[in-house]
Structure 1
Amino acid sequence: MIHFPLLLAAAVLGGIPLNSHAAFCQDNRHSMGGFDPAVGSVTLCRKNLNREKNSYLNVIKHELAHVVQHRMGRNGDALMPSSLLSPLVRELLPQKEVMAVLMQYPNHEINGELEARLASRYIPSELIAVAVVATRNWSQGQDHHGGPLLSR
């Protein structure tokens, strides 16, 4: 399976530090990974992933989707407007999972989390890899020409 090595390479080329452990991994056995926007790093909770037999591929795709959201100035929010995201979530994510997100995440992060969950399942790894590398030099909230992004 070439997808996982491709995404690891994209993370490295995209300037994203990768970790296999963080305190939150030990504190929450159900946590499979995380993105820390303060330092721009991605953690894959190796022990939790191995114990739960979870997919490294899905987790890295999910966390890299958060990287792209952050680099594009969304501050935890989704790239897609709610009018597009909501029907996709209703059709493609299990209701139990959506309810868990609604209960566990702050309101301003819910759409970003749901979008990252969709991305991990339905966006090709190659597209996520390209987005990560292409946004390497973007400052949060800046477009590729250095001007401020327009809010929706």
Structure 2
Amino acid sequence: MKLLPSLVAGFAGAVALTALHETVRRLRPQDAPRMDLLGMRGLRKLLGKADVRKPDGDTLFDLTMAGDVLSNGLYYALVGSGWHALARGLALGSLAGVGGVLLPGPMGLGTAPTNRTPQTQAMTVAWYTVGGLVAGTVARAMRKRRALVKQLRHFSVSRR
């Protein structure tokens, strides 16, 4: 696995996921997944266990968004840069979406942000799947670009 292309692809997927979540939650507040709320709840819990002063609302939101992009970027980097990146992106994205629906309750973060309605559940799975597909598509495009550059270098060297 090539580290830099994997990270670039992973963070592309994470940015796409976060942009989708934030856009839809503003357009459809009645049933959009609220991963921001889960993130802020989780961060509050962590800071409470570490006996650290909890930040105010805006700072908490900003820290949560940065943490979401970082953690999702590293997760989506597992898509890699080799063959089958798109299939791995689909699988990892779908798995993350199902986890986003099933895990918040047992983790003590509440269930409403991702289980409020059937539409909320479906959107949660769909948005994470989109993030995985974006990561896979970017990884695939970068692999094809590297292969093309390698061929062009070989061609130019052999013509000398």
TM-score (norm 2): 0.30
Highest RCO, 1 vs 2 (Cα 8 Å, sep ≥ 6) = 2
Please tell me whether Structure 1 or Structure 2 has the larger radius of gyration of its CA atoms.
2
| Greater strand fraction, Structure 1 or Structure 2 | 1
| Greater helix fraction, Structure 1 or Structure 2 | 2
